Amino acid sequence: MHALLLIDIQNDFLPGGALAVRDGDGIIPVVNALMPQFEMIVATQDWHPPDHGSFAANHAGRNVYEMIDLHGLQQTLWPVHCVQNTGGALFAPGLDTRRIARVFPKGTDSRIDSYSGFFDNGHRGDTGMAEWLRGQGISELTLCGLATDYCVKFTALDALECGFKVNLHLEACRGVDLQAGDCEKAIADMRERGVVIG
Ligand code: VGL
Ligand code: ZN
């Protein structure tokens, strides 16, 4: 079976949000139109506690987009975003959520960030998504969502490692591009590792 995996389609990643991705809302009609082609739909949700270590505001004297060492891992510092039980963490209002079979929260441990929906950035913790998908008989995934150069990329690479066939629906993805070319590089990395880009 083939599942559609919606990555972090949340208010804070849309224009006007705390960590807005340019034209992030442009994917919503595309994603909604994709849904009928899939037997199963699963979503990830960036879901941080207020004291999360990826927030610049939680590090005195540090600015957003700086890099720090966070408990032994390199970490980009982000604006406060997707805080648990706030409006910014909600799925985009235009997203058709009716057929989402299961939501996997991520980034819930203050000590470590989690760009991937499968494992945290240190591959220390597991959300259980791979095991759950396998249990549902899913062997192939199509990914879409935000952001191409962070959560989409790391979820896609972990999905390959977990043994899934992985497709990326590019028209239904948008990226941050902190540095010009980051998205192009992310797409090239994914393709090189075996993600089918469509
Ligand atoms: C994301 C940065 C921080 C993403 C999440 O969804 O791509 N990026 N948290
Ligand atoms: Zn985050």
Closest-lying ligand 1 atom to the alpha carbon of residue 13: 6
Mean pLDDT of 55-67: 98
Residues written for the chain: 198
- Domains of the chain with bracketed CATH: 2-50+79-197 (3.40.50.850)
**In the prediction, which pLDDT does 144 show?**
98
Residue to mutate, 6, 13, 65, 148, ligand 1, most ligand atoms under 8 Å from C-beta: 13
**In the prediction, which pLDDT does 174 show?**
98
**Which ligand ends up closest to the CA of 48?**
2
Which residues touch 102 (CB under 8 Å, ≥6 apart)? 42, 43, 132
**In the prediction, which pLDDT does 126 show?**
96
Question: Judging by beta carbons within 10 Å of its beta carbon (0-12, 13-18, 19+), is residue 106 exposed, middle or buried?
Answer: buried
The model's confidence at residue 111, banded by pLDDT at 50, 70 and 90, is very high
**In the prediction, which pLDDT does 104 show?**
98
Which residues touch 71 (CB under 8 Å, ≥6 apart)? 53, 111, 112
H or E element at residue 128: none
Tens of pLDDT, residue by residue over 122-170, are 999 999 999 999 999 999 999 999 999 999 999 999 999 999 999 999 9
pTM attached to this predicted model: 0.98
Q: What is the mean pLDDT of the chain?
A: 98
Tens of pLDDT, residue by residue over 5-20, are 999 999 999 999 999 9
Mean pLDDT of 66-74: 98
